[in-house]
Amino acid sequence: MQYKTQGIARSYFTVALLLFALQVVFGLYLGLSYFAAIPQNIVNVFPFATARAFHTNLLVLWLLLGFMGGAYFITPEETKSEIYSTKLAYLQLILLVGTGVTALVGFLFGWNQGRPLLEIPRPLDFVVVIGALIFLFNIGMTMIKARNWTAIQGTLLGGLVFLAVMYLFGMPFYKNAAIDWYYWWWVIHLWVEGAWELITAALMAFVLLKITGVERRVVEKWLYVEMGLFLFTGIAGTGHHYYWLGAPKYWLWVGGIFSSLEPVPIVLMVYDTWNHVKERREQIKNPLTFVYAVGCSIYHLLGAGVWGLIHTLPQINYYTHGSQVTVSHGHLAFFGAYALLNLTLFYFAFPQFERVERYDEKRGRIGFWTMSLSMLGMGLAFGVAGVVQTYLERVLGMDYMATQSYMRLWFQIVFVFGLAFLIGVIITAYDLLKLSPAKEAAA
């Protein structure tokens, strides 16, 4: 860590890790609800929908805190200057975590806007906006004052501004449900397949630059290509959510064609990560960061690219829409692209916070493989449940509840993999928070 204010990221990352573990606990409750009868008095206070809101909002919150921490971590090194205001950075963290806690308590009492993933009620939306403005101001001022622009900074700032602006479209409520969902997707889709991809490209480029020693010129060239392609395919790709929404028919074509191209920049990202890692000029002390970086790029391709592609054409989506096939993709994509990206950054940054130059990697590797393999198992089990659902319900026309009974086994399998996943998360969080120096380094 070359700059003192990079330490701000530590608080963001620590909170993010704890929320990650909590998110997964609620995931287990959801999984359980699909095959076991939870006592009615528990369901009365904590119904499935509330648990789902906890699970998904915690996910969004921890990922965003990770991105923000990431921005606080890389901006000083990129701009060669300290963060504009440390106080604002901590104020913003308190504000956002406070909003998160208030929102969760509110959900228990039905204080909820109702739209999945963006359940938090309007008054809290305004607090989020204030938090986001403080954040953008702080990062923006740091970059403007330093006047040391790089492509990585530009992409990062562009992605962050894009992210914040899109949030605004999820705030108003439109009486016409089709229009309401139309804009809901501007937030959800343009986040994960637009803004967040830019942030990912920037953060990953930074980490690769630092751990491989490849030339900045090479990393930046790729960054421009990826950024352009992500925007080009991702924005028009929004159409894959407009097939059955009441939107005009041309979206079937636009969505089908452009979203089918979305895997292209993701493939390029794997290719370029792999090349950087292969042609590294420096010997890295902790190869686990490589494992995470390469793992993230491959899993990103699998969960978002391949799993997205298989149900993105209207001819297929007609049958799979809103089924457990979607849930399978949601899990593999979020984990592969964004959970692993955050964890890559954490593994890059924590040793620097702790000033541990070389740490014992055994525990961390066990954590990586436990999480990655059990999420794969979980995703596949959700996928089979989804295929069963699609076939029985949508092709054969069996009714909803009868179909559910044939899906039960697969939810039991989801639950078992989920337990393993939680263990992986606990091992990983513990490992990061208590990095132990490697034996030879200690000696």
Q: Could you tell me if 5 and 409 are in contact, meaning their C-beta atoms sit under 8 angstroms apart?
A: no
Instruction: Quote the tokens at residue 67.
Output: 């991105």
Nearest Cα residue to 380 out of 338, 426, 413, 336: 413
Residue 55 interacts with ligand HEM (CB under 6 A): yes or no: yes
| Closest to ligand HEM by CB, 117 or 143 | 117
Residue 329 interacts with ligand HEM (CB under 6 A): yes or no: yes
Closest distance of CB 407 from ligand HEM, Å: 10
The piece of 54-62, 64-72, 121-129, 271-279 that touches ligand HEM (CB under 6 A) is: 54-62
Binding mask 336-355 for ligand HEM (x = CB under 6 A): -x-x----------------
Residue 56 interacts with ligand HEM (CB under 6 A): yes or no: yes
Q: Could you tell me if 152 and 78 are in contact, meaning their C-beta atoms sit under 8 angstroms apart?
A: yes
Closest distance of CB 31 from ligand HEM, Å: 3
| Closest to Fe ion by CB, 10 or 189 | 189
Torsion of CA 139, 142, 148, 151, to 10 degrees: 0
Closest distance of CB 73 from ligand HEM, Å: 21
# of chain residues touching Fe ion (CB under 5 A): 2
Q: Could you tell me if 238 and 186 are in contact, meaning their C-beta atoms sit under 8 angstroms apart?
A: yes
**Following DSSP, what letter does each residue of 6-68 receive, concatenated?**
GGHHHHHHHHHHHHHHHHHHHHHHHHHHTTS---HHHHHHS-HHHHHHHHHHHHHHHHHHHHH
The piece of 128-136, 209-217, 291-299, 331-339 that touches ligand HEM (CB under 6 A) is: 331-339
Residue with tokens 């704890």: 18
List Cα–Cα distances, 356 to 187, 207, 216, 268, 351, in angstroms: 39, 18, 26, 33, 5
Backbone angles phi, psi at 158, to 5 degrees: -60, -45
Which residue's Cβ has the minimum distance to ligand HEM? 308
Q: DSSP assignment, residue 363?
A: H
Selected binder of ligand HEM within 110, 123, 172, 322 (CB under 6 A): 322
Binding residues for Fe ion restricted to 171-190, rule: CB under 5 A: 189
Q: DSSP assignment, residue 246?
A: T
Which positions touch Fe ion (CB under 5 A)? 189, 193
Which positions touch ligand HEM (CB under 6 A)? 24, 27-28, 30-31, 34, 52, 55-56, 59, 116, 192-193, 240-241, 259, 262-263, 304-305, 308-309, 311-312, 317, 321-322, 326-327, 329-331, 333-335, 337, 339, 414, 418, 421-422
